[in-house]
A and B are shown apart, each in its own frame.
Chain A
């Protein structure tokens, strides 16, 4: 006998009122929009990096934290997005914003056949499979010695004609749109019926399937959506960096950043990746040479948190003060697995 109890957001938990939530949102948006008027180009550059990390982490969290698809190959779509932007802007002469969209579209188009194969793999083998896909794309790009200039990589030339200020402003504006857009997207998605279905799938795929949730279709949708989003962010990253090489663009380090940010901040929440990204960013500013030690430190912190506090920093805060900012938290009552009390 299965006793599953569905609880709405835990009773008695404080949530921000609509007015305060809107005020907080307006404050953040206001600060970001006005930043070019009071912050210098250095601050803008920093914010671009922060917003890209935030968007990447949110997307990985949507994929793994909310959908249970633990990809360690998201760098595939960063590389594809970056290269697509350069091809779109330099080879096809398309405007930059369109290049970003094309980065996402190309990633999603490649993710579709990849998903057809990857979704045949269970659990951990799915994860390794996503890595193989990223490796194949890296090798294909590396082998394209003429068009994509192989391992040497390419440089975005289209922005060369722009004034530096214009380029920086454009990059910043796009980063704000994408960073806030991804947070809003995940928030709205998780409040929708799809979000409820996702929570059901994560908690028990079999149960969700029995309830008529079309698990495969929803997982595919999220996988493609995240490939698209990560592709767009990848294009943004290389709009900012200008120079791309396959080894850097398809490096698993990108996914390591996403994973560490999400685990440390709090997996399966929207607030978690925000906190994680802020901490990660602060660490990065302090350790000027962001080398091996910082990755060892981050990895160790993530491993320890996974063991002792798998809910992350936000999870601890949320439980301690029974509080949440983004009201998307829903729980399916525990004890549905082995609660067949005779």
Chain B
């Protein structure tokens, strides 16, 4: 049985419709990438799963339980963590405090402050600095570490490579792979197609609020992806 099932959801911002009957399934332990151009609805999809947005119709199920309509904090407490777009580090909290906020999920598990520091040693060095004083790449590590601190079973990552140097992005994706090896399920939203295809078991492409393509990266040709991505 799939861990996460998104069943033909329609999502609106006021009168503006952002998602048109989008469906998606994620199995336990899988890494799934959602790709698509700017404005295709990727972040909207992720925020709907996380409970920030409510679908006007359709369902979101997690381990057989309906979670659409539940508030975001309740979804997080069920074990779905979010690495939000733009990192969203809490400016008045130190690096350590930002990580400790992850404990608000109330979930027990393998991830502790020490283990996150082992994964990202630079965060240990700068533990008492304000979170927003870190560089972009370090902030992204902090955002990932903060999500891990909630001991999730499923992590949603939104555009973690945005605005970062290629060498930093490579490093980040290595940690993503390290995280997936621990058995944590990961859903990645990316504009960087090449990068996400390298780590993903399966990929969904969104085009103007609809799923235009899905499959295993190895089964898809460059032309297929390009057509599904740009629509031309």
Contact = CB atoms under 8 A, between A and B. Distances in A.
Chain A directly contacts chain B within the complex, with at least one CB pair under 8 Å: yes
Contacts of B42: 341-342
Nearest to B13: A335
Contacts of A333: 14-16
Contact of B14 (A1, A335, A341, A342): A335
Interface string B14-47: 1110100000000000000000101111111000
Nearest to A338: B13
B13 A342 contact: no
Interface in A289-342: 333-335, 338-342
A341 B189 CA distance: 12
Nearest to B40: A342
B159 interface: yes
A3 interface: yes
B38 A335 contact: no
Contacts of B43: 340-342
- State which size class the interface on B falls in: 10 to 19
B38 A1 contact: yes
B85 interface: yes
Contacts of B68: none
Chain A binding site: helix, strand, loop or mixed by DSSP?
A: loop
Interface in A213-266: none
B158 interface: yes
A334 B14 contact: yes
Contact of A342 (B15, B16, B158): B158
Contact of A3 (B16, B85, B158): B16
A333 B159 CA distance: 28
B41 A335 contact: no
Interface of B: 13-16, 18, 36, 38-44, 85, 158-159, 189, 191, 209
22 contacts: A1-B39, A3-B16, A5-B16, A333-B14, A333-B15, A334-B13, A335-B13, A335-B14, A338-B13, A339-B14, A339-B16, A340-B43, A341-B13, A341-B39, A341-B44, A341-B209, A342-B36, A342-B38, A342-B40, A342-B43, A342-B44, A342-B189
